[in-house]
Structure formats: C-alpha cells, structure tokens
C-alpha cells in the first residue's frame, strides 16, 4: 500500500514540473552587431509585420497590438549637388567706339604740368595722343579749347595733316602765351571729329590740359648790355633808317677807331661825373655830321610793372673832360610784325659832369611783344661823341 502511495506522489511531482514556467533564455548581442544589422533589417521587419495575418482575439482575451522593434540606427540620405551646365553662353563683347582717345608715352612731350613760364612768354604745348577707337583720324579732326585759362589758344588746331589709324599715336601741339600776372594757369582741351562731335579721353570722355605757373619775378627782365651782342647794329646819316637798321652795317664789338661808328661793351671806364664804372655800352655814330648809330634788339614781351631805366652821358677824357660831348639819345619801339616806330623818349646830352638818369613806364605796352631800338645822333657835328648807356635794362 505504501509502495503505491510513493508511486502516486512521484507521478504528481512529475506533472507539476511540466506545468511550471520555464526561464526565458537571454540572447546577448553586441552594440556593434545591433547597429550593423538594424539598417539592413528595418525594411524586412516592416514587410513581415505587414504580411502577418491578423488574428481575431478569442472571447475573453484582449487583443494585443503589434509592436515594432525599436530603430537603433539613423538612415543617412545622400544630398544632391547640382552640376553647372557646360553650355554657358560666351561673355558679351563690348564694341569699340568709333572715336576713342587714350595717350601715348610720354603724355606731355613738352611743358609738363607746373612748368615755370615767364609772364607774357610764348610757348608750345605738345601732347602724345593715341587713337583708341575704330575710326581713322584725318585732317578733319581738330584740337579745341574747352574751358579754364585760354592762354591765347586758337579756335582749333588740326591734329594731323595725314591720317592716324586705330592704335597709332600722334603728337599734337598748340601755341600758347603765358598770362602776365603771377599764378598757376590750366587750360582744358578735347578733340572734335569732322561731324562736330567733341570727345575726350577714356570712357568718360574727360578733358586733357596744359598747366603752367607764372612765377613772381623782380629785377632785370631785359638787360640791354647783356643782349647787345645779339642785336643788329648799323650807322648812317639822317633820316634814320629803321627798316634796314642803318645805311651801313657795323660789327658789334668795335674797334672804337672805326670811322663808320661802333657799338661795344667797355669796362672800368671813368665817366663824366668822375665815377669809375662797371660794364657800359658805348655807341658811337658815324664820324660825319648829322650821323647816327642804331641797334635793334630781339623781341620782348612787356609784363605788368615793367619799366626802362638807365643812366646816359659820356666817357671822360684823360684830362677829365668829355670832348665835344653833344649828342641826342633816343629809345624807340615797334610792335612785332609792324613797321610803325614809336618814340619812347629823347634826351639831348652835353658834357656837364653829370650822368642823366632816365625811367620810362611801359604800362601801355603790357602784353605786347615789341622790338626796342637804341639810337644816338651826333646832333650836327659828330665831334667824337663817346656816348654811353649805363645800367640800361627793362626792370620789374
């Protein structure tokens, strides 16, 4: 009986063991493996879930909602980089204008900016211009004054007597005159084509210019003694012949024994007033009665404030006298290009132991270019008149 009891207990224990829950096995996976397979299995997992047949829960059971495994990896979506088109249109070519001005090298062939020019002096400004356009320049193209200080610029100047092809250069000149007052002066110029179109340099058609400075000067503007060697000298008998500068040409420099008269510089001479000089200009008429000696100087442009000053008289003889000492001193002028002769002053001198000081204002001639004439007349008998001009000059 006890034997069956043990057998029955053993069977009951066996049945109990079969109904007890079994422990859930644990599967370990490395983090690297999870991330590796996650991206590969996401789509498969979603497909499996979608294809699983839906089961209706039985009565008394609660339907469990399907769950998705967690995504443990981020899916990288490649970006799209646009490729530039290879058939881009060619760059736009700007057409070359017909009339276009640039400069050659150097720009200023003469008279660079700021050059000092004496008041009233004539000068020539020259630029080197380059034809940067597509049209050939001809004699119909002109340089024209635009604005600023005119400085005596002409209305127009042809830039060439021939042609200047595109890419070529040409030197263009204009004759100008410096103003009389000190200061900085600038005149602006451009070109004009045969149709009357005015154009300058560069894309903005700018003007180009001539710029000078007239300095403030004082002192001797024209030294008659220093310039005597460049003057024309002659002698004759009255009336005075201005056109051919005397009836007889004489050589400047003497000798002082020439009976035809002479003109020469002497130094360290004792004058009628008893003083010893530096350099003086001696002018002696022809050794006949009613004779004269004449000298014509190079052109000079009279500036503001100019005047002539000098001392006139005679050289003393060894005995202290000055011989016959009777002569007439005169200064004339003629405007450049004219044959009318104007007397600035006349002085009759005798040997009286004094040297006469003279001063002539030139205000009426300011801006005029003139030639000065020095004349000494014998005043009748030539009488060996050793007439001298001392410290003779145009002053300012």
- Three-state SS letters, 40-95: HHHHHHHHHHHHCCCCCCCCCCCCCCCCCCCCCCCCCCCCCCCCCCCCCCCCCCCC
Q: How far apart are CA 298 and CA 301, in angstroms?
A: 10
Instruction: Indicate the pTM of the whole model.
Output: 0.56
Domains and CATH numbers, the chain: 101-214 (2.60.40.10), 220-395 (2.60.120.200)
Residues in the chain: 396
Question: Is pLDDT above 70 for 191?
Answer: yes
- 330 contacts 288 by C-beta, under 8 angstroms: no
Contacts (Cβ under 8 Å, ≥6 apart) of 329: 312, 346, 347, 348, 349, 375, 376, 387, 389
Q: Name the residue with higher pLDDT: 54 or 86.
A: 86
Given a contact cutoff of 8 angstroms between Cβ atoms, the answer to whether 297 and 231 are in contact is: yes
CB neighbour list of residue 275: distance below 8 Å, 6 or more residues apart: 355
Note the pLDDT tens digit of each residue in 308-342: 999 999 998 877 777 777 899 999 999 999 999 99
What pLDDT, in 10s, does the model give residues 14-69?
444 444 444 444 444 444 443 444 444 444 444 444 444 444 444 444 444 445 55
Residue partners of 19: CB distance under 8 A and separation at least 6: none
* Average pLDDT value for the chain: 83
Q: pLDDT per residue over 247-284, tens digit each?
A: 999 999 999 999 999 999 999 999 999 998 899 999 99
Cα(134)–Cα(277) distance, rounded to whole angstroms? 70
């Amino acid at each position: 009986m006890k034997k069956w009891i043990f057998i029955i207990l053993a069977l009951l224990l066996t049945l109990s063991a079969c109904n007890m829950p079994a422990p859930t096995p644990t599967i370990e996976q490395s983090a690297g493996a999870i991330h590796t397979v996650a991206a590969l299995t996401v789509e498969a997992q979603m497909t499996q879930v979608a294809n699983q047949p839906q089961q209706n829960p039985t009565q008394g059971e609660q339907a469990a909602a399907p769950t998705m495994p967690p995504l443990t990896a981020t899916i990288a979506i490649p970006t799209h980089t646009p490729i530039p088109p290879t058939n881009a249109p060619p760059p736009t070519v700007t057409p070359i204008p017909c009339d276009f001005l640039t400069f050659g090298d150097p720009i200023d062939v003469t008279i660079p900016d700021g050059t000092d020019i004496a008041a009233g002096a004539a000068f020539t400004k020259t630029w080197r211009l380059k034809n940067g356009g597509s049209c050939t320049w001809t004699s119909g193209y002109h340089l024209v004054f635009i604005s600023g200080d005119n400085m005596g610029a002409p209305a127009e100047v042809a830039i060439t007597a021939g042609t200047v092809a595109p890419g070529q250069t040409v030197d263009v000149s204009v004759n100008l005159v410096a103003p009389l007052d000190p200061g900085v002066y600038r005149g602006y110029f451009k070109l004009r084509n045969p149709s009357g179109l005015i154009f300058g340099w560069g894309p903005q058609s700018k003007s180009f210019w001539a710029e000078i400075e007239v300095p403030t000067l004082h002192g001797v503007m024209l030294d008659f003694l220093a310039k005597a060697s460049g003057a024309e000298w002659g002698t004759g008998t009255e009336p005075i012949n201005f056109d051919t500068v005397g009836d007889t040409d004489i050589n400047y420099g003497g000798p002082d024994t020439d009976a035809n008269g002479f003109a020469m510089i002497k130094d360290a001479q004792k004058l009628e007033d008893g003083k010893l000089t530096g350099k003086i200009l001696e002018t002696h008429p022809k050794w006949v009665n009613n004779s004269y000696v004449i000298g014509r100087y190079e052109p000079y442009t009279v500036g503001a404030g100019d005047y002539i000053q000098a001392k006139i008289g005679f050289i003393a003889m060894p005995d202290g006298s000055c011989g016959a000492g009777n002569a007439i001193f005169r200064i004339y002028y003629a405007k450049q290009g004219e044959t009318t002769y104007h007397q600035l002053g006349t002085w009759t001198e005798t040997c009286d132991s004094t040297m006469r000081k003279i001063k002539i204002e030139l205000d009426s001639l300011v801006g005029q270019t003139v030639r000065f004439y020095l004349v000494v007349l014998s005043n009748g008998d030539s009488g060996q008149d050793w007439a001298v001009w001392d410290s003779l000059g145009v002053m300012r």
